[in-house]
Amino acid sequence: MKHLITPIVAALALCTNGCTTRQPAFVRVENGHFTGAPAYYVGTNFWYGALMATEGPNCDRDRLCRELDSLKALGISNLRILVGSDGNTGVVSKVEPILQTAPGVYDDRALDGLDYLMAQLGKRRMHAVLYLTNAWEWSGGYCQYLEWSGRGTYPIPREVTWQTFVDYVAQFHEAEAADSCKIMLKNHIRHIVTRTNRYTGRPYRDDPAIFSWQLANEPRAFSEANKERFYEWVSRTAKLIKQLDPNHLVSTGSEGEVGCERDIELWRRIHALPEIDYTTIHIWPYNWSWIRKEGVEEDLPTACRNTDEYIRQHAEIARELRKPLVIEEFGYPRDGFRFEPGSPTTAREAYYRLVFDHVVRSAAAGDILAGCNFWGWGGEARPLHLRWQVGDAYCNDPAQEEQGLYSVFDCDHGIPDQIAQTNRTLDRYTRALDAPAGNRSPEALLGRLRKVAAEGKVLFGQQDFPFYGCHWAYEPGRCDVEACCGSYPAVLGCDLGEIELRTGRNLDGVPFDTMRREIVRHHERGGVTTLSWHPRNPLTGGDAWDVSDPNTVRAVLPGGKKHAEFLGWIDLAADFLNSLRTPDGSVVPVLFRPWHEHTGSWFWWGEGLCTPEEYRSLWKMTVARLRERGVECLTVYSPSSVEDEHEYLERYPGDAWVDVLGLDAYHAGDAAGFKARLDKSLGVMARIAAKNGKPYALTETGQEGIPTADWWTSVLLAGIGEHRPAYALVWRNAPQTVKPGHYYAPCPGHPSEADFKRFHDLDRTIFVSGTPAPKH
């Protein structure tokens, strides 16, 4: 039976897509995903949060609140935080103030700081991963417990050989479970986990601001002989925490294979424990000698390859365990291995983009990689010394490292922008997990495209079909396609070109008021709308096809002489998109497809008119501005026909900026050649879509005048073949008195009408019924 989207189905979609479920009080893991918090996220390491709230030389609660607000504005809600430091003051390489000054003896000011931080996180609906101790010396941790248990003063790694330090700290797991060093840590864990917050009056075990308790920062066995004892310690400690607090998740804080004595099976075993709720890895290209100090930029490809592989091998195990994977530490130095805030970070930005894209792709596919916490947020701090000293503002670089080595400061604009846009995309994909497929929201629309493609079906679309046809114009309800087959196209294509002129009409003369009305009407039928944009050349004043000046893109980017004016143009597009609402005020989500066919050079943004980086900057600037203006849409990236993945992705702005992969491919020349080119291009897209977890579509196609009578079944469908584009949109039917021969769908009496009816009747093609859905 013919697959139609009926008004009843559309109405049901509108109803079910509007339903919401109440979030649980605590974060949980269900079917390999986090619930009660974003299922996918970019978070940060903010280990010094509790220290900054502690009364003393470094106390700055005003700054703490400002930093939390800044992080929240970037979409960051997951912070990885040190509970506190142990031992004596004045120890080189150790952060202060001290929480536990002697075994079981706590500075109440530090406990107050931890309470204050947790209360502030709760107010902002943010979450903390609280690590209870540290395998490294910079907060005491293992080393301090060993010193307290009589093993002698612990060595500082930078003052002794690495092996000397390892031999010392390895004693922690050489010790039996009843040894005083382990008993002291056990008592510390009990003291913190059972604490009641003095600001909220709420026991920590009842605080939903806690994402998880973490055994330690980067716990290691520190020797081959210790591996079994290490496993047993993880098991005992996780069980203890679950007994003390059954409400919260428990995690290890492990680096992965590197932190398990290069034994990935040991990593599997500790994360297979039922008391461990999710898996963790850390990735450090410089610390692990993947890059050289003098090769930060040059060695980036090596760092990226190794990172890809490290994520892949751990994700495979996480899938088997059905537990989320979090990259909870990663960092990359500044260009030239510099430390000053605001100094260049081009290599770091590229590396962060790689990690972020892994998470976005996982979110798009509903896969196991749930999040990442970059190391880390330095915010408004400005280092005063190469190494941290008491009284200095906290960066995110611990006391043993150069201040500014890995910190992201608020003046490092490139990375904060990446974080904000990535979190906006991840928020959408998180919401898409629970959104029924439909057209009520961007998330539901994304689900619908995925569902259609998974079923091997194709939504049929046409540009401008409700506005005019071959022999008519502006007759409500009329449509050439509907006149031929009794159904409307499922996808309506419109164009915003010349909205920037404020004349009230687009470049093809369609009034924007009419366009708005028909988009809403099509939405209520259950249809989908996609909008392209052919803006005039802002530098020359010519149309979108004016390629006389190769500096146009550069002129509209930040710093260009047309930048401010062009932002105003984008705002006009945003105003129109935001005006697309149903009578009850609900948003009509659309597919927005800017800067299309850029692999050619016939538009002022085309390949020959700007560099790949300039094109990516244009795309990001446009989408970022729309998002700032509150536009609810999916974005579509659509070059012309391509030969390979490199050509398709050369100007790709990144997974956080694109929701749907598109392709514009028109029938020119002989049918066999067109079908071969289409098959190749769709094959390229299918491979990329499989990697990126995104649906793909044939965003423009057709044969002008349709001289081939059986073009629909023998050429278009044959060219699509076994590929699975979510939709295929043919171009417009221009009034023949205005533009003779310019039409891409049949009207009654056309030679291809009979074949089009066969195309319509196939179970594979999806149209919408002609009756508008009831008002709601």
Instruction: Give CA 590 to chain center in angstroms.
Output: 20
The pLDDT value given to residue 10: 44
Cis, peptide link before residue 97, omega less than 30° from 0: yes
Euclidean distance between CA atoms 187 and 203, whole angstroms: 17
The pLDDT value given to residue 20: 39
Query: Which residue type is seen at 487?
Result: S
Could you tell me which residues come within 8 angstroms of residue 295 by beta carbon, excluding any fewer than 6 positions away? none
Euclidean distance between CA atoms 470 and 25, whole angstroms: 59
> Of the candidates 303, 308, 260, 253, which has an alpha carbon nearest to the alpha carbon of residue 277?
253
The pLDDT value given to residue 27: 97
> Of the candidates 630, 615, 543, 511, which has an alpha carbon nearest to the alpha carbon of residue 581?
630
Question: Mean per-residue pLDDT for 398-415?
Answer: 93
**φ, ψ (nearest 5 deg) of residue 583:** -55, -25
Which residue has 């149209």 as its token pair?
A: 767
Contact between residue 608 and residue 550 where contact means Cβ atoms under 8 Å apart: yes
What are residue 251's DSSP bridge partners? Answer: 214
The pLDDT value given to residue 95: 95
Euclidean distance between CA atoms 524 and 460, whole angstroms: 17
**φ, ψ (nearest 5 deg) of residue 190:** -60, -40
The pLDDT value given to residue 42: 98
The pLDDT value given to residue 119: 98
Question: Mean per-residue pLDDT for 248-272?
Answer: 98
Write out the H or E segment, with its range, that includes residue 123: helix 108-123
Q: What single DSSP character describes residue 640?
A: B
The pLDDT value given to residue 434: 82
Burial tier of 384 (Cβ tally within 10 Å: 0-12, 13-18, 19+): exposed
How many H helices and E strands in the chain?
Answer: 24, 28
- Which range is least confidently modeled, 17-31, 311-325, 479-493? 17-31
Reported residue count of the chain is 776
Q: What single DSSP character describes residue 693?
A: T
The pLDDT value given to residue 21: 39
Q: Would you say residue 189 has pLDDT above 80?
A: yes
In angstroms, what CA-CA distances link 141 with 27, 65, 589? 27, 27, 51
Contact between residue 372 and residue 328 where contact means Cβ atoms under 8 Å apart: yes
Contact between residue 257 and residue 264 where contact means Cβ atoms under 8 Å apart: yes
Euclidean distance between CA atoms 203 and 192, whole angstroms: 10
Maximum distance among all alpha carbons in the chain? 96
Euclidean distance between CA atoms 465 and 647, whole angstroms: 32
Instruction: Give CA 751 to chain center in angstroms.
Output: 48
Question: Mean per-residue pLDDT for 745-766?
Answer: 97
Long-range CB pairs of 682-690, under 8 A, 24+ apart, other chains included = 682/719, 682/720, 682/721, 682/723, 682/725, 683/723, 684/642, 684/643, 684/644, 684/645, 684/648, 685/648, 685/661, 685/723, 685/725, 686/723, 686/724, 687/645, 688/645, 688/648, 688/649, 688/661, 689/661
Euclidean distance between CA atoms 651 and 665, whole angstroms: 18
Helices 346-365 and 414-432, packing angle to 10 deg: 0
Instruction: Give CA 303 to chain center in angstroms.
Output: 21
What are residue 329's DSSP bridge partners? Answer: 282
Residue 16's SS3 state is helix
Could you tell me which residues come within 8 angstroms of residue 179 by beta carbon, excluding any fewer than 6 positions away? 149
Note the pLDDT tens digit of each residue in 640-679: 989 999 999 999 999 999 999 999 999 999 999 999 999 9
| Average pLDDT of the residues of the chain | 94
Q: Give me 382's structure tokens.
A: 């400005």
The pLDDT value given to residue 24: 43
Residue 237's SS3 state is helix
Question: Mean per-residue pLDDT for 716-738?
Answer: 97
Note the pLDDT tens digit of each residue in 85-125: 999 999 989 999 999 999 999 999 999 999 999 999 999 99
Contact between residue 773 and residue 523 where contact means Cβ atoms under 8 Å apart: no
Euclidean distance between CA atoms 530 and 638, whole angstroms: 12
Which pLDDT band, with edges at 50, 70 and 90, does 19 fall under? Answer: very low
Long-range CB pairs of 770-773, under 8 A, 24+ apart, other chains included = 770/477, 770/482, 770/486, 770/487, 770/488, 770/525, 771/7, 771/525, 772/7, 772/521, 772/524, 772/525, 773/7, 773/8, 773/10, 773/11, 773/14, 773/524, 773/525, 773/526
Q: Give me 582's structure tokens.
A: 């149903």
The pLDDT value given to residue 730: 98
Burial tier of 231 (Cβ tally within 10 Å: 0-12, 13-18, 19+): middle
Q: Would you say residue 310 has pLDDT above 70?
A: yes
Residues involved in catalysis: 597, 700
The pLDDT value given to residue 5: 63
Q: Would you say residue 402 has pLDDT above 70?
A: yes
Which pLDDT band, with edges at 50, 70 and 90, does 369 fall under? Answer: very high
Which residue has 């297979």 as its token pair?
A: 272
Contact between residue 325 and residue 278 where contact means Cβ atoms under 8 Å apart: yes
The pLDDT value given to residue 313: 98
Task: Report the b/e string of 172-207 with b at 16+ CB within 10 A.
Answer: bbebeeeeebbebbeebbeebbebebeebebebbbb
Which residue has 């066919």 as its token pair?
A: 597
Write out the H or E segment, with its range, that includes residue 181: helix 180-193
In angstroms, what CA-CA distances link 314 with 265, 374, 438, 681, 764? 10, 18, 35, 32, 39
Could you tell me which residues come within 8 angstroms of residue 700 by beta carbon, excluding any fewer than 6 positions away? 463, 493, 596, 597, 638, 664, 665, 666, 729, 730, 731
